[in-house]
Amino acid sequence: MLNKITPDTRRLCAAAKLTARRSMLFSCICQISSYPNSSLQSEIALLKRRISQLDDEVKRVKSENQRLLSELQRAHTDLDQETLNRIDYQNQVQTLLEEIDFLRRVHANEIKELQTLASRDTTPENREFFKNELSSAIRDIREEYDQITNVHRTDMESWYRLKVQEIQTQSARQVNFPTSMEHGHAKEEVKRLRTQLSDLRGKLTDLESRNSLLEKQIQELNYQLEDDQRSYESALNERDAQIRKMREECQVLMVELQMLLDTKQTLDAEIAIFRKMLEGEENRAGLKQLVEQVVKTHAISQETVISATSSASLETMRVVKEEIASRQSFQRSAKGNVSIHVSSSKYPLIV
């Protein structure tokens, strides 16, 4: 603005000097007119022509000054408007950056919450649901950020095109008045606009770099989420395998425990039988009743062992059969005043 005012002041000073020179010329003419000489008359005529030329120059300079003052006023108005627009755009950029940061924090918290829920989940359906939800949220974040960036880029490009069009219009208008001051002002304006354009391009580059950084962070979060899901599924599969193995071992141990309990019960019953046989041999009726009760208990325990071992391995069945066979052979070889008679194919009776 100072560069614009200084040439105007110089032109006004030049006009004042021309006016002073004109008054001096008039005074000189008045002095010369007193001398009667033809050469002086011709010089006076020459000076009058010069005065008329200077008057025309003064009028032209005044009209030029008036035009330049109007141009200066319009330039001041445009400068104020452009300053307001620049402040408005800077505020919009700052608002968009703050909105982007806020959205990034909000979506980061949502991602953490979804990861927490996914880590607590144990079913494949829910894991797939949360995985789809997380992918949809990340896709929405990316689309929203791209939309904001595209809108901002479109606004910047339209503003650049408008500025370039205004500069071209001003340049075309100033072609009719190719003065050095106008060229200097145009150069300063173009330089200022180029500087502002470079600043805005730098800001746009920073925003694009931040956008790429955020996209990279989102990609890293996706990779980390996939790794966590694979680790979680592997841990779940390993735990399920351990649970199945422990259940099988527990089932085998229960079968063995039941077999031991049945064996203990059978042995206790046999010991009681032989004790009664030794203590009360003369009481045949009571001995026979006691032996029948023990044999029934033995048959029931034998059926329980067979049903329990039906779901176990063939080795367990073989051990149970050998144990039953050994018990029967032991009972058949027992000594005393008793006899063994097979009354049915299901189990023997002691008579």
Whole-number Å distance between alpha carbons of 351 and 348:
10
196 burial (CB, 10 Å; 0-12 / 13-18 / 19+) is middle
Q: What is the pLDDT along the chain (351 residues), one digit of tens a residue?
A: 445 446 666 667 777 777 777 777 667 666 655 555 566 677 777 877 888 888 888 888 888 888 888 888 888 888 888 888 888 888 888 888 888 888 888 878 887 777 776 666 556 666 677 677 777 877 888 788 788 878 877 887 788 778 777 777 766 665 554 455 555 666 777 777 778 777 877 778 888 888 888 888 888 888 888 888 888 888 888 888 989 999 999 899 999 999 999 999 999 988 988 888 887 655 544 555 555 665 566 556 555 545 544 544 455 445 445 554 444 444 444 444 444 444 444 444 444
Q: What is residue 261's predicted lDDT score, i.e. its pLDDT?
A: 92
Do residues 120 and 230 make contact, with C-beta atoms less than 8 angstroms apart?
no
Domain residue ranges in the chain: 2-245, 280-350
Overall pTM > 0.75: no
| Residues facing 349 on adjacent strands | 341
Residues 6+ apart with CB under 8 A from 142: 215, 218
Q: What is residue 346's predicted lDDT score, i.e. its pLDDT?
A: 44
H/E stretch holding 341 reads strand 340-341
Whole-number Å distance between alpha carbons of 179 and 176:
9
| Residues facing 341 on adjacent strands | 349
Whole-number Å distance between alpha carbons of 260 and 238:
33
Backbone φ and ψ for 341, nearest 5 degrees, come out as: -130, 130
Backbone φ and ψ for 350, nearest 5 degrees, come out as: -95, 125
Burial 150-166 (b: 16+ CB within 10 A, else e): eebeeebeeeeeeeeee
Q: What is residue 293's predicted lDDT score, i.e. its pLDDT?
A: 62
Whole-number Å distance between alpha carbons of 267 and 294:
11
